[in-house]
Structure 1
Amino acid sequence: MITFFEDGIVTLQKVTLIGAANIDIQGFPFDKLIYRDSNPGRVRVCPGGVSRNIAENLSRMGVDTELVSAVGKGANGRFILDSCRQSGIGCSNVLVVPDMESSTYMAIMDREGDMALALSDMSISGRITVEYLKSIREVIEASAVIEVDPCLSAEVVAYVLEEYCDIPVFIDPVSIGKAKKIKNLLGKIDTLKLNRLEAEYLSDSRISTNDDLFRVSSYFLNAGVHNLFITLGKDGVYYTNREQSGTIVPPETEIINATGAGDAFMAGVIYGTLAGYGMVRTAEFATAVAIAALSSQDTVNSSTTIAMIERIIKERF
């Protein structure tokens, strides 16, 4: 049941997000990057991680969220948990691991705010096991939507997709390396978000033309994916299901930090599903959430609200 209000929705349905919660360390150069040299700039530290980022965006839009993740017992872990609580994210099912460091993502950005190079230490994600998920089965079963992050082991990803096939599962593989974990499980995925390279890898096809895009999207639908979103950079996003398809090209947007845009987009897709939006409206809404993220120095725009997203849609689409 979803109750609508003028400034957004309050939902009695919960979204459970299973995956990474990180410390993000981001470096922004003052000038053009010079590789193999020390570049003057500024460094920001903020909470991150795909599932945590999606959860925060959803929480700021009024959605009930529960994060299933793992953090270390030290200062970074406390920082992540404190930020989750302040953002309204449920985190009673986040494991606190005393003998490991929290996940860390370290990125060097270019002058345009896009990632030039990054390194991630996600070792602690291995503590999220099938056995642990079985121990919180009642929490997961109470979900209207499940998001699972392929940073987790292939065994865990497969378990979620196979065990909770009666609940819509949403996945954004984030990279080709992680996409390998879902290549043989596409038929279990309700909603899949990919970039061009990930779509090409999973379908074993190149995307150079609109005909290629249609052919590749048909591959995923025939494999059993219900809803598909393929982000195409400056060319926008292609959306499709059995009923409708199309492309939304967003207006030119100043990029301050692109790190969390993909996660924001996925949050918009989940929100659109909960709100009962059609594919066009969902793609438009998700793109607007991504635009909000691009305009923030942090991975998640702390100013995100439904009113803000609707204003972006009205002004830019």
Structure 2
Amino acid sequence: MPHSIFTSEFRPALGLRNRHVQTLLPRFLPRAPLSRRTEILNLPDGDFVELAWVISDGHEKRERTTALSDDAPLFVLFHGLEGDLSSPYARELLNAAARMGWRPVMMHFRGCGQSPNRLPRAYHSGDTADAYWVLGELGRRYPHAIKVACGVSLGANMLLKLVAEQGGDGLDLAGAIAISAPLDLAASADVLNQGFSRLYQRHLLKGLKAKVAAKLANGPLPISIGAHQLTQLNSFWAYDNEVTAPLHGFTSASDYYTRSSAGRLLSEIELPTLILQSLDDPFMPRDLFARFHQPSEAVRIELSERGGHVGFVEWRRGRLSSWLARRVSQQLDAWSGLPKPQAQAEVQSEAH
């Protein structure tokens, strides 16, 4: 086994090992309460993204009485395709960070927040520019805070691509965490067009097509199909070829998948990075990591036999709970002991 790949400690709850059960179960479990403050952050091209700042720890039905200091560690979450703050994993991860005294915030990709975005374009798996802009803004606001970014599914692929593009010191981050990342987008599109996984494809495409249909009703888009043809797109290959690619400057779905997949960049990552993945993920092939070059030494991949897609439900302390929240909390705890940005700068200054 490559030096970057380790066996995960995740163990599914008894009787809940099936990959589809693991994938779907989080939607049916009780969701912790969460209080948030929404911020509209304008982007250089005239569009915007919504930031959701979590202001309660999820275990108390009141807001914090003690404000966080400016140097409190910052946890930044990027959601999956058509996800938002109501996604089960978002609540679990953000609340876990809040309970640890971190400042949690989630960036909604364009059009995924409470309001539709302004421009014809939307977001996609390789769109790193908005996340780069947001992280830069957070760095300016909180220059002395340790920062960790976490991406889930589409957001995980995007984050891995971003950290590979920016190198070890191109981002004000202590580390990155990627969960259930579709590192080979073409392979994932193939898998999602087969068997039971087509139900996930149908559900996700329904949300995507509804947003495009609403924009078409308000005026023309730079795509070659109309509202009726949009309804006929029944696979990611078809949708990405006719909608995602032309809206975002790609020549085809194949071009989009090739240029946006982060798997080919794992060997270039310099930032400390944790990747959590299951071998039975119904969104991607089992041999996913065999398709790529050896990851860099900065990357730690934890593979579990079970877990589904962003599932990882375990039995702990007498109830079903999120192993992801527990594992991410452990990683945040490990990285919170790193020198803060100003201390790192002082050490570098003394060395010179």
Same fold (TM over 0.5): no
Q: TM-score, normalised by structure 2?
A: 0.37
Structure possessing the higher relative contact order (Cα contacts under 8 Å, 6 or more residues apart): 2
Whose strand fraction is larger, Structure 1's or Structure 2's? 1
Give the greater-gyration-radius structure (CA): 2
Q: TM-score, normalised by structure 1?
A: 0.40
